[in-house]
Amino acid sequence: MNELQAAIYNKFNNSTGHGCYTNVGGRFYLNKAPQKSSFPYIVYFPVTDIDEVDFTDEREDFLVQFSIFSENNSPYEAGTILGHLKSLFDDCTLTVTGYNHLRFSRTMTVPNNDITVAPPVFGYSVDYEVTIEKSK
C-alpha cells in the first residue's frame, strides 16, 4: 500500500534531528538499497498485507520489516542504529493519507550478520505489525 509506505518514509524523513536519521545519514530505502550504497543504511518493505476479518473493508493489517546494514568491524554501530530505530518507530503514530492509524508495534528483532565478507556486514531485521483503518 503506497499510503503506508509514504507515511513510514515521511516519519523517518521528518526526523532529521533524531539519531536514527543521523546515524544512517538519511539513507533509508524502500524495498532495496541502490547498488554500491554507502553503509550504514536501512531498508524497509512490506512483508504481508493481511485483511482484518471483521466483516468490513475498513481495517487493514500489515507486517513491515526494517533491515539495518552496517559495514563496520564491530556490531556496535548496527546496535546503536537499532536502538534509535526502536525509539523512532516503537508504538509511533503515523499520518497515513485516507486512513486512521491504529497501531505500530514491534513484534520481532533478529540479528542479520554476514561475517563471510570483508569487511563484515552487521545488522538487524526488525518486524512491526501495523493496523490502519479507512477514514470515514
The residue type found at 134 is K
The CATH class that applies to domain 2-134 reads: alpha beta
Does the pLDDT value for residue 42 go beyond 80? Answer: yes
Average the pLDDT over 39-45 and give the result. Answer: 97
Q: pLDDT tens digits for 98-119?
A: 999 999 999 999 999 888 888 8
Does the pLDDT value for residue 53 go beyond 60? Answer: no
Does the pLDDT value for residue 51 go beyond 60? Answer: no
Q: Per-residue DSSP letters for 7-23?
A: HHHHHHHT-TTSHHHHH
Question: Which position has the higher pLDDT, 121 or 29?
Answer: 29
Q: pLDDT tens digits for 62-106?
A: 999 999 999 987 789 999 999 999 999 999 999 999 999 999 999
Domain ranges in the chain?
2-134
Does the pLDDT value for residue 27 go beyond 80? Answer: yes
Tally the residues of the chain: 136
| Alpha-helical segments (H) within the chain | 2-13, 19-23, 76-89
Q: Which residues of 39-77 are buried (b: 16+ CB within 10 A; e: fewer)?
A: bbbbbbebeeeeeeeeeeeebbbbebbbbbbbbeeebeb
Average the pLDDT over 34-41 and give the result. Answer: 95
Is the model's pTM score more than 0.75?
yes
